[in-house]
Amino acid sequence: MLDETIYRYITEKATDIIYSVTLDRKIKFHNKAIEQIFETSVEEIEKNHYDHLMLPEDKKLAKRLHEERLNGKNSVFEHGFITPNGKLVYLECSANPIFDEDGQIVGSLGIARDITDRKKADKELKESKKQLEEIIESKDKFLSIIAHDLRDPFNTLIGYSDLILTQFESLSKEKIEKYVQAINSSSNKGFNLLQNLLDWSKAESGRITYTPEKVDISKTFDFIISSLEYSSAAKSISIKKNLDNSFIIVADENMLKTVLRNLISNAIKFSFKNSEILIDVIEEKLQYIINIIDSGIGISEENLSKIFSPDINFSQKGTKEERGTGLGLIICKEFVTKWGGRIWVESDYGKGSTFSFSIPKPKQ
């Protein structure tokens, strides 16, 4: 009798759930811990099958393990539950079959430990590991761009400026003009690449903030077109905008300029000589749609899914063998997503592409 009292005392004071389950999967016995963990009454627990609070994805496994115990097998497993108060609870369980005097299985006996905090910690650890891996990957990509892509413009700058310095007296006016044009072109490429690297670095570190204001998008287009005038003139490409001289929207002007600079620069890069690029704005009820339309080389169906992905280092050469890093479109997606819009592309390989992005109107 004393032993029974001690066992009962230990059972009731245990912080782990001690329970038994009948052949038809109902709770027959349990200690007080089950009420504390599930935050519900004894009556509520006992009137249902033990899996009525279980996560749907765990119920199939629970039924299979119960059937295995009816065949004499022990089991160790984890299940998730939603308490009547909506709290998510994870239990680590160890269950064994119960035999009567005749050796017949009459149910099962189990011990269940609350591992919710451990599961939460494991999840946070996995998320931290993933974030760390992304940071390392970003750092490696950043260093790769600095080591390779940023080196090319500087090599051109150094090479042609050295030629001008050492051979200035003997160089013809035409040669000097050619070298200066190459220096100017490389300077612009280097500056745009540095700008993208800075924007990307800010986006990756979460230091980009969206600051909407009234913007005359027509003037913004003019500014970007003017800044890319040398690149477009070098290929005799005309850039036209299909909108009024004054068109006011609400947007973050700096982020908008970055997106437009990258998309129009790409359109120039992949357009043929003597072609045309059209900038089109469509006003809808809830948003504006900006389209950058070119008649260049286009994008193959195979590559369409790669161009906005930060996980794939995708880049292709332009119509004059211009190189790129693939960074510009990733930044575009980051910024457009930041202001609540979306960006997409439609392309006919060999005939041209239309890059589009949306800017939501302010809520009234």
**pLDDT tens digits for 284-305?**
999 999 999 999 998 888 888 7
Q: DSSP letter string over 31-91?
A: -THHHHHHTS-HHHHHTSBTTTTB-HHHHHHHHHHHHHHHTT--EEEEEEEE-TTS-EEEE
Question: Within 10 Å of residue 84's Cβ, how many Cβ atoms?
Answer: 12
Tens digit of each residue's pLDDT (9 = 90 or more) over 100-125: 888 888 888 889 899 999 999 998 99
The answer on pLDDT for 2 being more than 50 is no
Stretch 200-208: mean pLDDT: 67
pTM: 0.55
d(CA 254, CA 17): 59
Q: Which run of H or E residues covers position 233?
A: helix 229-234
The answer on pLDDT for 203 being more than 80 is no
Strand partners, 105: 99
Angle between helix 173-204 and 253-269 (nearest 10): 130
The answer on pLDDT for 190 being more than 70 is yes
The answer on pLDDT for 158 being more than 60 is yes
Decide if 33 contacts 12 (C-beta within 8 A): no
Ordered domains of the chain (ranges, CATH):
2-114 (3.30.450.20), 150-205 (no CATH), 208-364 (3.30.565.10)
Question: Within 10 Å of residue 96's Cβ, how many Cβ atoms?
Answer: 15
Dihedrals phi, psi of 108, to nearest 5 degrees: -145, 155
Tens digit of each residue's pLDDT (9 = 90 or more) over 146-157: 555 666 677 778
Tens digit of each residue's pLDDT (9 = 90 or more) over 9-37: 777 778 888 888 888 877 777 788 888 88
Decide if 296 contacts 271 (C-beta within 8 A): yes
